[in-house]
A and B are shown apart, each in its own frame.
Chain A
């Protein structure tokens, strides 16, 4: 009987260690009126003069701890608005400012055993002046 118990224990352990993959996270900035371009269209345009001010980056992270045995999920606070806030703080609602060449990165960490995971979303871009 103990042999079955060992095999069953290994099976449970196998399930538990693969369960954490990090919680879902969305990277967006759809509440902003400032153009946040993923392309370089503004810089290729000949009619408008643009100058690069600085590189900016926004960050959001979300962590989750799940007890796979009792099925209780505890989540940390989400900092989703940080990406939008970073862009808004840098552009200050100025219509002549925009962000271009944005790169989006999503990173999922799975921690050993029952610690579960975290997901981080970030954007990097160039803040520009459009005249």
Chain B
């Protein structure tokens, strides 16, 4: 058997064994830093402190966008990826575009994204974060 070929196989086996010992952790966090109100629920408080419930506004646009973040190394120490800046920019752009007063029903999902063939060297964890929500316009009489 060719010696180099044997070494290559041995290297692959070692890498594969090393990879199977890894714990890969992908951690994402988000905190809104906008001037307009952003709520996870159906209601929100305006900057003037007025409680706005679902009867006080109309949904002018339902949005959905994705953020891609890839962790290139095994996250043994639980490195946190802060996607706040990416998301806040996108939210601000949407509210400006539709001239909305705020965002309600915000939800964040993790979506599976698999990278094949990477396990032999390092465990690349590909993840996609999906953001959903509604841009609202507060009724004039409120």
Contacts and interface: CB of A to CB of B under 8 A. Distances in A.
Contact of B29 (A87, A103, A109): A103
Contacts, number: 197
A28 interface: yes
A44 B47 CA distance: 8
Interface in A104-131: 104-113, 119, 121, 123, 130
Given A13-B16, A33-B53, A48-B49, A24 B38 contact: no
A36 B41 CA distance: 6
Interface in B94-126: 104-120, 123-126
Nearest to B122: A18
Interface in B73-92: 78, 80
A126 B51 CA distance: 17
Contacts of B5: 3
Contact of A23 (B12, B21, B46, B112): B112
B110 A25 contact: yes
B12 to A, nearest CB: 5
A86 interface: no
B138 interface: no
Nearest to A105: B29
B108 to A, nearest CB: 5
A39 B33 contact: yes
A49 to B, nearest CB: 9
Contacts of B124: 18
Interface of B: 1, 5, 9, 12-13, 16, 19-34, 36-49, 51, 53-54, 78, 80, 104-120, 123-127, 129, 132
Given A27-B107, A104-B29, 10 more contacts: A10-B9, A18-B123, A21-B114, A24-B110, A35-B39, A38-B32, A39-B37, A41-B47, A107-B78, A108-B127
Shortest beta-carbon contacts, A-B, top 7: A28-B107, A48-B49, A38-B32, A18-B119, A32-B41, A17-B119, A30-B105
22 contacts: A3-B5, A10-B12, A15-B116, A17-B123, A21-B127, A22-B26, A27-B40, A28-B107, A29-B40, A29-B41, A32-B42, A33-B43, A37-B39, A37-B40, A37-B44, A38-B38, A41-B47, A102-B31, A102-B32, A106-B27, A106-B29, A130-B45
